[in-house]
Structure 1
Amino acid sequence: MKHFAQRWVSAIVDWRRVVSLRYLPQFAVDWFTFRRQAGDWVVKAADSYPCLADRLPTTPFDPHYFYQGNWLARRLARAKPAQHVDIGSSVLTMGVLSAHVPTIFVDYRPLMVRQSGLSCVAADINHLPFADRSVASLSCLHVIEHIGLGRYGDPINPDGACLAAMELQRLIGDSGTLYLSTPIGRERVCFNAHRVFSPATILSLFAQLELTRFSYVSDDGAFYDDVSPTSVPQLEYGCGFFEFQRRS
């Protein structure tokens, strides 16, 4: 019940911002100090923009998203595909990767940008606009766990993740590669945020392809590269990075 209450309260209240209010007195001291030393700079209270939640001893980051972007970039740097297709992953990651690899980015909610090397397409992951076995390099990072939960306006469908897995496999051509990440750990549905899968479940969902490489992020945010899925300890909310290939 404790975690249940925490999740519901956090959906309404940003605790990081509430806790950061303790830095308000220091903000006032810093503002007056800066104003006295500002010289020709105009410093008005009406223009103030308090960023109280950023006064931290180290730079915060999300281990899942940090490591999965790094993982994919390094894999593509080695593979050097002529073109890459991504389904719904981090737009920041895709924006950077498209500087080095021509990328088609597909999302249920269209990305309205213009950038050389990046083509944006609006589509449902369960009905992708590509021919069978036509894609040589495909990624889908931290996406399939959301499908069918309605979080992003998509239709409710308990089988959404399974259907997405079938559709992703349909696209992979002979010797083609799929880079996939998703939460791993104690299997469950955290409606309507995401699902959590065991590594074995992901392998069964993508049985048409062969696993060629596996890495993961543990509950404490540590990254384990190129290990066996069977070596993963019991996790609550880790992240698995699966590299699949269709053998010709």
Structure 2
Amino acid sequence: MKIRQHIGRFWRSSVAGGKYFKLAWKHPHFAWLFMNCVETDFDSTVANIDHLARRQTAMLGFRKELQDFNRLLVSAGRNPLNDVDSYPCLDDRTAETGFDRHYIYHPAWAARVVAAFNPKKHVDISSTLHFATILSAFVKVDFFDFRPAALVLTNLSSEPADLTNLHFQSDSIPSLSCMHVIEHIGLGRYGDPMDIDGDKKAARELSRVLAKDGRLIVAMPVGKPRIQFNAHRIYSHEQVLQMFETLTLVEHALVPDGAAESGLIMGPDSDVIAAQSYGCGCYVFSKQ
């Protein structure tokens, strides 16, 4: 189905579609922004359009089901529900349980790396909070973020830190992680200063503070190298190795664009990584 057909379906089938086209007619720059999204990421834009259309259809079905449920309540001698108490969940009726493959697989992979290394303490910088909080059940974790998280758990501390200027001494951290973070540094998405080399500075700081014979775990988008402002950067395998050129690669894995039988691809070659659009590269480095 071509993009014009998707847009037409969206327009005709949803209230949101009608509102969008009225807005685009009055404000041409809004239409330009939409078409730029189409040209930048066609598949994602089409998926979002279809999602909105499906939600509009599902909302109509929800209203009918609410009426049916209220009739069941009344027939049982109970009070019907008020509209104000309704809580439409429109995306959960699926044949299988969906999940974000990046954010399920890379923390699971990293936890296994930490378990094998078995450090007395682990330092994590800005990775998904699920990783640090669950890991703290088994090993002491010091968590740091540019936007500190108000976490209160035993065996876990949470403090602020600037990844481009870490306050740690050189060669001081034996077990360190920073996953799905570097690609954002310097793009301003999270309130950090604009810096076209922010990711490189972050990589140098991580390399500097890693202890001799320590382990650094990093994860970032890999595939065709590009910057998708202000969301993230995407790197080639070679770019990742170059950013951490003072360290030694211990192991690496890939969460590919599509589902893989093994979940992750262990030790993929650079051609497999280069074939991705938005894969997740998982790397372990050490310092000699």
TM-score by structure 2 length? 0.78
Q: Output the CA distance in 2 between the equivalents of 1:224 and 1:53.
A: 26
The alpha-carbon deviation at position 32 of structure 1 amounts to 2.6
Aligned twin of 1:224: 264
Contact 2:71–2:80 (CA under 8 A) maintained in structure 1: no
The alpha-carbon deviation at position 230 of structure 1 amounts to 2.9
1:181-222 Cα shifts (integer Å, max 9, x gaps): 001111111111111110111101101111111100112143
Aligned twin of 2:67: 32
The alpha-carbon deviation at position 100 of structure 1 amounts to 1.4
Aligned twin of 2:281: 240
- Is 147-156 or 96-105 further displaced after alignment? 96-105
One-letter amino acid matched to 1:191: F
Q: Secondary structure at the match of 1:52?
A: coil
Contact 1:17–1:53 (CA under 8 A) maintained in structure 2: no
- Is 35-44 or 189-198 further displaced after alignment? 35-44
1:62-99 Cα shifts (integer Å, max 9, x gaps): 11111101101111122221111111110122211111
Moved over 6 A (4+): 7-11
The alpha-carbon deviation at position 18 of structure 1 amounts to 4.6
Aligned twin of 1:101: 139
The alpha-carbon deviation at position 108 of structure 1 amounts to 0.6
The alpha-carbon deviation at position 112 of structure 1 amounts to 1.2
1:151-171 Cα shifts (integer Å, max 9, x gaps): 111111111111000000011
The alpha-carbon deviation at position 41 of structure 1 amounts to 6.8
Q: Secondary structure at the match of 2:169?
A: coil
The alpha-carbon deviation at position 136 of structure 1 amounts to 0.7
Aligned twin of 2:36: 4
What is the count of residue pairs matched by the alignment? 245
Q: Output the CA distance in 2 between the equivalents of 1:199 and 1:71.
A: 18
Q: Output the CA distance in 1 between the equivalents of 2:259 and 2:202.
A: 27
Structure 1 spans left out of the alignment, 5+ residues = none
Q: Secondary structure at the match of 2:191?
A: coil
Contact 2:184–2:232 (CA under 8 A) maintained in structure 1: yes
Q: Secondary structure at the match of 2:91?
A: helix
One of 103, 123, 126 as aligned partner of 2:161: 123
One-letter amino acid matched to 1:242: Y
What's the Cα RMSD here? 2.4
Larger radius of gyration: 2
Structure 2 spans left out of the alignment, 5+ residues = 1-31
Q: Output the CA distance in 2 between the equivalents of 1:128 and 1:112.
A: 20
Q: Which protein has greater RCO, CA pairs closer than 8 Å, 6+ apart? A: 1
One-letter amino acid matched to 2:270: T
- Is 220-229 or 194-203 further displaced after alignment? 220-229
Q: Output the CA distance in 2 between the equivalents of 1:79 and 1:103.
A: 14
Aligned twin of 1:151: 189
The alpha-carbon deviation at position 225 of structure 1 amounts to 3.5
Greater helix share, 1 or 2?
Answer: 2
Q: Note if 1:163 corresponds to 2:201.
A: yes
One-letter amino acid matched to 2:287: R
Overall identity of the aligned pairs, in %: 38
One-letter amino acid matched to 2:168: F
Aligned twin of 2:178: 140
Contact 1:106–1:121 (CA under 8 A) maintained in structure 2: yes
TM-score by structure 1 length? 0.90
